[in-house]
Every structure is written in structure tokens, then in C-alpha cells.
Amino acid sequence: MIKFLTQKVKEKFYPKVYWRFNGSSKAYEFDSEKRRSLRPDTIMITNRGKPEQKIFVLDSKYYRYGATKNPNHLPDSASVVKQLAYADYIDNKDNRNKLPKYVRDNISDSSIFNTFVMPAENVIPENIGYVSADYVLPQDFTTAEKTYHKIYGILLDVRSLMYRHVPRDRHLISQLAKLIDQT
């Protein structure tokens, strides 16, 4: 059975920001969750609470690459660094204490993955490769220290997905997890 995270639990996966003004001993936090949190589109967890648990941080903005095959239409550096920050936040030992116990007890060095989901037409879901940043994975290395240092690009036929409108489709979730976890 697939269980989805409640909004309150999801917020524990979001990095927060605050300002500390000179001369003040108290941090200022924005008054809305949207302004104070960096929020990925989706956190997908397979085998939740089990030793084989995997956490997938998914970003699914409309990147045109699936339609054009033009590398200039892939996610840019700001998106890449933001995606790395999401996973790093989850992986950070101090932040893990904020996560539900059944999740944090099953996080390992190879259980967090990053993904850009990009729309494409008439395509079987496809892993096109990965992107990284040279400060976590130099260009001449293929082996990453952390699985989430490689952000996989996945093409999905979003139109077919919308027509099927199968909420919480276990097969699709399993297929997507396998495409990402090709390490």
C-alpha cells in the first residue's frame, strides 16, 4: 500500500530561511511557509520505514527539452543548485531529527535521489542522463559520493499521464523509481 505524506509532514523536508539583523539576538522568519521555505515539487518515498527505503526529490517544472531536444532547454544552474540543496537538507544529520522517525531511521548514503521530471510527447518514460555541479561532482568523475549528487533527467509523456489520471498509480511510481535508481 502506498501512503502519501500529509502537508504537515512534507514541510519537515523543506529547508527554511531566516534573516538575522545586526544588533538583534532573534532571527526573523517570514510569516508564510511559501516565503520561508524552499519547497521541491514532490517528495516520493518508496518502501517507507523499511531498510530498503528510498527518497526521491522530484522537480517537475516545464522544461522544454522533451519537445525540442535542445540542451539549452534543460534545467539551468539555479535549478540544479536548488535541487542539490533539497537533498542535502534531507541528508544533513541535524535536519534528520525533524523528519518522521520511521523515515530518518532508514536514511542511508545511497537512499536519496534527485530528479528533474520533464514533459515529452509519445515517449515511454526515459532516463536521459544526469546533471551535477562541479562542487559536488567534478566533470571528470562518474562516481558520486552521494546518490543525490547526480540529478537524473526523466522524460514522461505528461499528456498520457493526465488522460489516464490514475492517482497514486503504484506501477508508475515503481517504474519511475527504477528509472532514477540506475546506479
With respect to residue 21, please indicate whether it lies within any of the assigned structural domains.
yes
Residue 66: inside a domain: yes
pLDDT at 3: 58
Q: Provide the domain count of the chain.
A: 1
pLDDT tens digit sequence for 95-147: 888 899 999 999 998 999 999 999 998 888 899 999 999 999 998 888 889 99
Report if pTM > 0.85: no
Cα-based torsion angle of the residue sequence 74, 79, 81, 83 in order, rounded to the nearest 10 degrees? -100
Residue 74 lies in a domain: yes
Per-residue pLDDT averaged across 47-56, rounded? Answer: 94
Residue percentage of the chain with pLDDT more than 90: 46
Average confidence (pLDDT) over 155-175: 70
Give which of 14, 18, 135, 141 is closest to 77, Cα–Cα: 135
For 111, phi then psi, to 5°, come to: -115, 0
The rounded mean pLDDT for the chain is 85
Across the range 154-162, mean pLDDT stands at 78
Contacts (Cβ under 8 Å, ≥6 apart) of 140: none
Residue 2, in any domain of the structure:
no
Residue 55 is assigned to a structural domain of this protein = yes
Higher pLDDT, 11 or 155: 155
| Contact of 127 with 183, CB cutoff 8 Å | no
Q: Per-residue pLDDT averaged across 144-162, rounded?
A: 86
The 10s digit of each residue's pLDDT in 7-41 is 777 777 777 777 888 888 888 887 776 777 777 78
Q: Which residue has the higher pLDDT, 36 or 67?
A: 67
Burial of 149 (0-12, 13-18, 19+ CB in 10 A): buried
Choice between 162 and 28, residue whose per-residue pLDDT is larger: 28
Domain-located, residue 1: no
H or E segment and range at residue 35: helix 33-36
In a domain, 96, yes or no: yes
Q: Is residue 92 part of a domain?
A: yes
Range of the domain at 79: 7-180
